């Protein structure tokens, strides 16, 4: 485990948030669901014998699912919070996985150019102040033809009373699903409609967490008639020499 720790470009999580990130709910109903959904957004099989970077690995609860779904030969975990990295090390040891852990902000990754096949960024981006710099770093460290697995909550979810009360985020950088997609394209990533999903999960409906729909007192709003709370994207860095 190496590298610097907290920086001004990362907004530290609340005590409740740190507790929630090691909960069963987070691991099973959030991480597992997102990783399986992202796997389904690939046009082709993911790279074999991949180097996988978990950008914002938190407390390592993603490692089990990433290993199961993508079977990488090497996992690198990056996080800016030193306590979370300690928890990630314990989680990797518990799972018997050899995970390289680095203390760093995503806006300045201490990794070589074109050194990563898969870059997993799950619910990390909305914590970052320097989002453009972080995305440029993701693009830099990915190999040509490599994939960014991007899963984010949108401003419609982050800017609600319950989330603002329980968690801490830089509100001035929050974005809609469309704005996140525009940012990815602006950086040069390639993806089509089939590489994007808009999950409408119970936990992302912060007004009532889907309770009224569970009780059949309200029908869920269909796609196109709601403000999306989540966006998942499998975006590819173009092969060298191809059009971006």
**Residue-by-residue DSSP string for 10-37:** BPPPPHHHHHHTTSHIIIIIIIIHHHHH
Amino acid 12: pLDDT: 66
Specify whether the CB–CB gap between 142 and 149 falls below 8 A: no
Amino acid 13: pLDDT: 66
Looking at residue 113, the DSSP 8-state letter turns out to be T
Amino acid 173: pLDDT: 75
Out of 3.30.70.1380, 3.20.20.140, 3.40.50.300, 3.40.50.150, the CATH code matching 15-236 is 3.40.50.150
Measured between alpha carbons, how far is 181 from 177 in angstroms, rounded to an integer?
A: 6
Amino acid 24: pLDDT: 80
Mean pLDDT for each consecutive 10-residue tract of the chain (244 residues)?
50 63 78 96 96 95 96 96 92 96 95 98 89 97 98 76 59 85 98 94 54 56 70 95 51
Specify whether the CB–CB gap between 159 and 42 falls below 8 A: no
**Which residues sit opposite 128 in a β-bridge?**
10
Within 8 A by CB and 6+ apart from 154, the residues are 174, 175, 176, 177, 180, 227, 228, 229, 230, 231
Amino acid 4: pLDDT: 42
Amino acid 166: pLDDT: 59
pTM of the full structure: 0.85
**Three-state DSSP class for 157?**
helix
Sign of CA dihedral 174, 180, 186, 188: positive
């Amino acid at each position: 485990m190496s590298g610097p720790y907290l920086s001004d470009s990362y907004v530290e999580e609340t005590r409740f948030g740190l507790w929630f990130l090691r909960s069963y709910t987070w691991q099973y109903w959030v991480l597992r669901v997102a990783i399986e959904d992202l796997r389904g957004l690939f046009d082709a099989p993911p790279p074999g014998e991949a180097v996988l970077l978990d950008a914002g690995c938190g407390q390592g609860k993603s490692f089990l699912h990433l290993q199961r779904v993508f079977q990488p030969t090497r996992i690198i975990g990056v996080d800016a919070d030193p306590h979370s990295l300690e928890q990630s090390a314990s989680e990797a040891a518990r799972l018997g996985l050899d995970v390289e852990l680095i203390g760093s902000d995503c806006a300045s990754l201490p990794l070589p150019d074109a050194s990563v096949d898969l870059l997993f960024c799950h619910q990390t981006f909305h914590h970052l102040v320097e989002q453009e710099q972080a995305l440029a770093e993701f693009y830099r460290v990915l190999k040509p033809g490599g994939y960014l697995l991007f899963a984010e909550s949108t401003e419609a979810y982050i800017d609600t009373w319950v989330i603002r009360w329980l968690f801490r985020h830089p509100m001035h950088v929050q974005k809609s699903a469309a704005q996140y997609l525009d940012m990815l394209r602006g950086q040069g990533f390639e993806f089509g409609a089939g590489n994007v999903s808009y999950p409408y999960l119970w936990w992302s409906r912060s007004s009532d967490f889907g309770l009224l729909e569970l009780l059949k007192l309200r029908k869920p709003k269909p796609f196109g008639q709601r403000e999306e709370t989540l966006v998942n994207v499998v975006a590819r860095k173009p092969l060298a020499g191809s059009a971006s």
